[in-house]
Amino acid sequence: MMKYINLALRWLFFALIIKPIVKIVIGLRYQNTPILPQDGPALLIANHNSHLDTMVLISLLPLKILHKVQPVAAADYFLKNKFMAWFALNIIGILPIERQGKDKSVDPVGQCAEALNKGKILIFFPEGSRGEPEKMTDLKYGMVKLAEKCPKVPIYPVYMHGLGKTLPKGDALFVPFFCDVVFSEPMTYENSQESFYGEVKKRFADMQGSVKLPKWD
């Protein structure tokens, strides 16, 4: 019962609050024709500059598959207190993973693979954390390991520009800027870890290059 109430709340939250904010207050500008999964399992990988990244990516997907969408997020950050944990788990619908660090007993890649096997659409930020506004940091290998584990799952790279200006890390003031979104053909894991990593990196460099607007001074 509680599950359905939470699902309904989640749907309302995105339909009535997040989508209007993303589409009207921020405003999306597609740099090319959107290429997005219509059903799970699928893996969305994107650059990460702002908490808004997740909101925009979820808003890109049709509401009817919202119940399958799970942004992958760090458990230690989002499950800090009770309210935030409820909100993150039920309303945003995150898949909480333990950051590996020194403790080798946790298996974040395995957790993600399990969700994909259940037909979920995962939102994954290969850079890890948000980093400096509007700058891309090096991609981590977690995404490659996940892709290797689920070689049949299509991977959709998405590049977003502008959200690091609208709501950067460490700032609570929301200042609207248009968000430019670039899409890329879906890819699947092939050959070796290194070559796949290089391919993903190249995709992001290409997408980043197609946005000619100013970053920060």
Per CB under 8 A, 213 contacts another protein: yes
From 123, 140, 112, select the one nearest 53 (Cα to Cα): 123
CA–CA distance, 63 with 83 (Å, rounded to integer): 24
Per CB under 8 A, 165 contacts another protein: yes
Per CB under 8 A, 29 contacts another protein: yes
With respect to another protein, which residue has the nearer C-beta, 48 or 165? 165
Q: How many CB atoms lie within 10 A of CB 186?
A: 16
Which residue type, as a one-letter code, is found at position 167? L
Q: Which residue has the tokens 């993150």?
A: 88
Per CB under 8 A, 173 contacts another protein: yes
CA–CA distance, 8 with 208 (Å, rounded to integer): 36
Length of the chain: 217
**By CB under 8 A, what part of segment 122-141 binds another protein?**
133
With respect to another protein, which residue has the nearer C-beta, 71 or 162? 162
Per CB under 8 A, 3 contacts another protein: no
Pairing of strands 121-124, 42-46: parallel
With respect to another protein, which residue has the nearer C-beta, 1 or 175? 175
With respect to another protein, which residue has the nearer C-beta, 71 or 168? 168
Which positions touch another protein (CB under 8 A)? 27, 29-30, 133, 162, 165, 168, 171, 173, 175-178, 212-214, 216-217
